[in-house]
Structure 1
Amino acid sequence: MLQLRYTQVDVFSAIPTRGNPVGIVHCDASPSDDFMFGVARWLGLSETVFLLPPSNPEADYRVRIWSTLGELPFAGHPTLGACHAWIESGGVPRAAHIVQECGIGLVKIRHSEQIIDGSIGCHLQAPDSRPVATLAFMAPPLLRGGPVSHELLALVCKGLNLEPGSVLDAEWVDNGAGWLALLLQEDKDVLAVLPDYSKLSGLAVGIIAPVESQPIASASLFESRAFIAGDAVPEDPATGSLQAGIGLWFSRRGFGADRYTVRQGTCMGRLGRILVHREHGEVWVGGSTTTCISGTISAPERHEE
C-alpha cells in the first residue's frame, strides 16, 4: 500500500471552506491513467490534480488534472490549487512567473497580495481590511470559440428553463472543459435558474450577468454559475477555466471593466470570488488559496507510465 502526500486546497475564497476544493496528490513520477482516474473518482471532488516533476525544461512543475469523468487538459481552480501546494512544499520559480506544464501547454502564474476591505464586501468577503495573498493564471488560448448555434442554444435554454429571449449573447469559451457561456441581463436571472441536467446532454454550461443592472461595457461585479451535466459535482462553486474563457470573450467584445470580480457559488452557500484583470492584451484570472487538509492518502500500488 502506497502512502502519498495529499493536500486539499480551497480556491477562490478568502474564507477557508467557502470556495472550491481541489485535491492535490504529490507524486515523484506519473502514475498510470487507471490509478489516477480511480483516485479521482474515489475522492469525488470536481477535480483532483497529480503534482509531478516537469518534463518541459521551461516549466517549474507538471500537473495532470482529473475529474470524475476523465482527464482534463486544463482547469482553473486546480491550476491555482496545485501552484499553492507546490509553493507550500518548497517550490521556487525559475523566472519572474511560475510556469505550470499541463495538457494544454505551459501556463503562466503569478503571486501577489491585494488589500481586501471587508466593508465593501464585493471582492472576497474578508471579515476585515487586510492583505490577502492571491494567485492568478494567464488565460490560455481557447480550443473552441465563436457563436453557439441557434439549435444548441435552444436546447441549453430548455435545460436551464430559460426563455431564449432572456439570453443577450452566447459563445463557446472552451479551453479544455468544453465550456459554452450565456450572458444574461441581471444577476437575479442567474440566481433563478433551475437546471434540468437530463436535458443538457453532457454539456458544460456557464451563465453570467452584471450585478444590479450595471452597464455591460463597464460592469465591475458579475454573478455567475457553472453546470456540468453528468459530473459527480454538477454545479461548480467557483470556476477559473470558465471565467478565463469568458474573460477572453469579454475582452474581445469590450464587455466588463478592465478589472472585475465574479461572484460564484451563491446558490450553494459558498463565497467564491474570482478576480479578472485585463492588461496588455492578456487576461489574468485569480483569487485566494488556502490549505484546508494536509496529510497522506493511502492507495494501492500504482503502475507508473
Structure 2
Amino acid sequence: MPRTRSFVQVDVFSTSPYRGNPVAVVLDGADLSDEEMQRLARWTNLSETTFVLSPTVPEADYRLRISTPESELPFAGHPTLGSARAWLDGGGVPRHADRVVQQCAAGLVTVRRGDGVLSFAAPPLVRDGALDEAYLKQIVAAFGIGRDRVVAHQWVDNGPGWAVLQLPTADEVLALEPDLFLIPTAMVGAIGAYPHGSGHDFEMRTFAPRCGVAEDPACGSMNKEVDPCSW
C-alpha cells in the first residue's frame, strides 16, 4: 500500500493569502527516491517543492532537499523559510529556541526566529563579480533591450546560479517580456530603482528557465544577496 505522508503548502513572503510565493513541503521525505521526489515536484508545478529528512550532522535540526520542476537545487530562499515554518507548525522542536538550523546541499543555513517572523542567513557565495560580456549579451538579447540600458551586472550565486542585471528604472524592469528560449539555462534577475519618495525602493523580477520556471513570484536567495548600492 502507498505510504501516507504529511504535505503542506506554505505562502511565503506575505501576510495576505495568495499574495506570496508558494512552496510545497513534504514533511516526511524518508525513503523517497530521487525520481519520486522529482516526479512530485513536477506534479505540484510550483517553483520549488521540498522534502524534510532527518539530519546527518549533529548541528542541524533537519535536512532539506529542494526540487524545481526540472532539477534539484542546493539552496533556495523561500523554500527554506516555508519549510522551516511547516516543520515548526508540524511539531518540530529546534535545538535552540531562537533559531532553526537547516542542513541542505549548500551546507548549514540558520533561520532566525523572532516576533513571529523567520529570516535566514544565506550560505556563502560560490560565484560573484561581473558577468562575462558574451553571457551578458545573451541576456540583453533575451530581455529585448539595448546594452546601454544595463547600469550594472553581477553574479550573486549562493547555490542556484543567479545572475542579476540592474536597469535604470523600475518601470523598465516591469516592462520586460523576455524571450527565455534565448537563455534556456539561465537563472537571471533584473532590478531597477523607483523614483525617490515612492512606496518601494526597487523592483526586482526573477526568471529561471533552467529550472522550468518562467518567472518566480519572489526569490529569497537572490534578494538576500543583491545590494545595488555596492555595484
Smaller-chain TM-score bracket: over 0.9
Would you say 1:246 and 2:229 are equivalent positions?
A: no
Q: Among 121, 125, 143, which residue is 1:138 paired with?
A: 121
Instruction: Provide TM-score, normalisation by structure 1.
Output: 0.71
Mapped contact 1:41–1:67 kept (Cα < 8 A): yes
Partner of 2:108: 106
Q: Which has the higher contact order (CA 8 A, sep 6+)?
A: 1
Instruction: Provide TM-score, normalisation by structure 2.
Output: 0.93
Partner of 1:42: 43
Question: 1:137 Cα deviation (Å)?
Answer: 0.3
Unpaired runs of 5+ residues, structure 1, are 114-132, 256-305
Would you say 1:191 and 2:191 are equivalent positions?
A: no
More strand per residue: 1
Unpaired runs of 5+ residues, structure 2, are none
Q: Among 191, 196, 220, which residue is 1:208 paired with?
A: 191
Which amino acid counterpart does residue 61 of structure 2 have in structure 1? Answer: D
Partner of 1:163: 146
Mapped contact 1:197–1:230 kept (Cα < 8 A): no
- Mapped partners of 1:28, 1:155: distance in 2: 38
Partner of 1:225: 205
Misfit runs of 4+, over 6 Å: none
Mapped contact 1:185–1:213 kept (Cα < 8 A): no
Q: Say how many residue pairs are matched.
A: 228
Identity %: 43
Partner of 1:116: none
Mapped contact 2:123–2:158 kept (Cα < 8 A): yes
Partner of 2:160: 177
Question: 1:213 Cα deviation (Å)?
Answer: 5.0
Question: 1:27 Cα deviation (Å)?
Answer: 1.3
Question: 1:30 Cα deviation (Å)?
Answer: 4.4
- Mapped partners of 1:187, 1:75: distance in 2: 24
- Mapped partners of 1:220, 1:44: distance in 2: 30
- Mapped partners of 1:42, 1:2: distance in 2: 18
- Mapped partners of 1:153, 1:80: distance in 2: 31
Would you say 1:22 and 2:14 are equivalent positions?
A: no
- Mapped partners of 1:143, 1:232: distance in 2: 22
- Mapped partners of 1:69, 1:167: distance in 2: 29
Corresponding residue SS for 1:165: helix
Q: Which residues of 2 match residues 84-95 of structure 1 at below 5 A?
A: 84-95=85-96
After superposition, give the CA deviation of every residue in 1:177-213 in whole Å (9 maximum; x if it has no partner).
1110011111101101110011113201101112215
Question: 1:244 Cα deviation (Å)?
Answer: 1.8
Would you say 1:235 and 2:218 are equivalent positions?
A: no
Question: 1:8 Cα deviation (Å)?
Answer: 0.2
After superposition, give the CA deviation of every residue in 1:268-297 in whole Å (9 maximum; x if it has no partner).
xxxxxxxxxxxxxxxxxxxxxxxxxxxxxx
Question: 1:158 Cα deviation (Å)?
Answer: 0.5
